[in-house]
Structure 1
Amino acid sequence: MGYIRNAVQIEAPVDEVFSLTNNVRTWPSLFTEYESSEVIEETDNSVTFRLTTRVDEDGNQWSWIAQRRTNHQRRSTYSERMPSSGPFERMEIRWWYDPIGEKSTIMTWEQEFTLKGNAPVTEEQATNYLNKQTKIQQAVIKERVEQMCGTAPDAETYYRGVIIGRYQSGSEAAIADAFRRSDESELPHLLGVKSRHVWVLGDIYLHLVEAKSSLPTIIRQYINHPLFKEIKAEVDTYVQPLSPELNPGVGREIYRWTNTSVSAIPQTAQSA
């Protein structure tokens, strides 16, 4: 018999976590591994539903019917998966939730299973796979539930900067491809870049970057990094400064607004 048990701490009240994670209809948006969840029959304390996974890297897609019973008083559930085309002869899953104070919850998942005789994997392989996937899904659910409950930890401070220039008409695909190759490499992680957005308007090129450092700092620190130089040189063949004295064309932020504060940025400040 295979067995795994994993727990995660979610920074949200236990009743909210219990409610949000036990609505099987929303599982495709709560988990990353499910494509659909179809409710077949439902009562106050139980639900029978069909889960279908997303297609995996090997082209496999699995679907099965499960019955799930809920103990609202204990804040726990018990699920049993019907035998399906997958490798499991039996799969029992128990979830339970324990509050830590008023604003934090420990969510625990326990799984017991046996494999079919003709299963293509061993019990050890299945255990290792389920253990890995459970930890991944619990981390995803933690993040999404905390976002929904408005209890996610404060995000790191990121700077925003804009590079402005003139670009060659018809070079949009080449510019996008250069950044795509860069963003698939280790470079964004090295530079601390969180996101980038590139727009064109007429012959004007606008490149917005969110990063852990300001754009002038990044350019100064990494101008001689081989990969940075390669991407910059490629983009520079299509994009030029508005005028020589504005190279590299980093705009200055003069005003910022949020829901909670309004601030003016001195004219001499570089874009953040």
Structure 2
Amino acid sequence: MAAHTDNSVLIDAPLDLVWAMTNDVPRWPRLFSEYAGAEVLGEHDNVVRFRLRTHPDPQGRVWSWVSERELDRAALLVRARRIETGVFKYMNLVWEYLPEPGGIRLRWVQDFEMKAGAHTDDAGMADYLNRASQAQQQHIKQCVEAAVASAAVGVD
């Protein structure tokens, strides 16, 4: 079995700012409320390999994994995958940056499958990821739009 999630948020900000802020991996702990740490392990061409660490979950577990992102600025697309899959057989993500009236729609598509014996099944993880993605996208929206507002205040 496999699972799929698809979530998006409209961010009222210029494309360059949305792209820059959401692809600055070392700053992700400020942009994502769920991450306690983000360490870049390597970069080449348009590929970034990094380790993420979460804040403890309600059961006190801290999750950590290595992922890789390939940025395609011309196509306004990022493809990512977990290198250390943990409880997943695989986890692939696509981020799209879609200009539309009112800003940039940031869309996340996740395709994955859980390993046998994981703490949840595909449907349970899809439910969790849908809730978490929507919450994180709202947080990102607030952070990026606050950066726009701060820059506007500084302009004479």
Asked if Structure 1 and Structure 2 have the same fold, meaning a TM-score greater than 0.5 normalized by the shorter chain, the answer is yes
Q: Sequence identity, in percent?
A: 36
In structure 2, the residue matched to 1:150 is: 149
Distance 2:3 2:136 in 1: 19
In structure 2, the residue matched to 1:127 is: 126
* Secondary structure class of the residue paired with 1:132: helix
- Residues 67 and 84 of structure 2 are in contact (CA less than 8 Å); yes or no, is this contact kept in structure 1? no
* Pair 1:104 & 2:103 matched: yes
Whichever structure has more strand as a proportion of its residues is 2
Larger Rg: 1
Moved over 6 A (4+): none
* Secondary structure class of the residue paired with 1:150: helix
Give the root-mean-square deviation of aligned CA atoms: 1.5
| Residue identity opposite 1:15 in structure 2 | D
Count of matched residue pairs: 150
- Residues 83 and 89 of structure 1 are in contact (CA less than 8 Å); yes or no, is this contact kept in structure 2? no
In structure 1, the residue matched to 2:14 is: 13
Task: Flag structure 2 segments of 5+ consecutive residues without an equivalent.
Answer: 151-156
Distance 1:12 1:45 in 2: 23
In structure 1, the residue matched to 2:153 is: none
Deviations 1:131-178 (A, max 9, x none): 000000000000010001218xxxxxxxxxxxxxxxxxxxxxxxxxxx
* Pair 1:67 & 2:80 matched: no
* Secondary structure class of the residue paired with 1:9: strand
CA shift for structure 1 position 99: 1.2
* Pair 1:48 & 2:49 matched: yes
Task: Flag structure 1 segments of 5+ consecutive residues without an equivalent.
Answer: 152-272
Deviations 1:212-256 (A, max 9, x none): xxxxxxxxxxxxxxxxxxxxxxxxxxxxxxxxxxxxxxxxxxxxx
In structure 2, the residue matched to 1:113 is: 112
Distance 1:117 1:41 in 2: 31
> Greater RCO between the two (CA within 8 Å, min separation 6)?
2
CA shift for structure 1 position 44: 3.6
CA shift for structure 1 position 57: 1.2
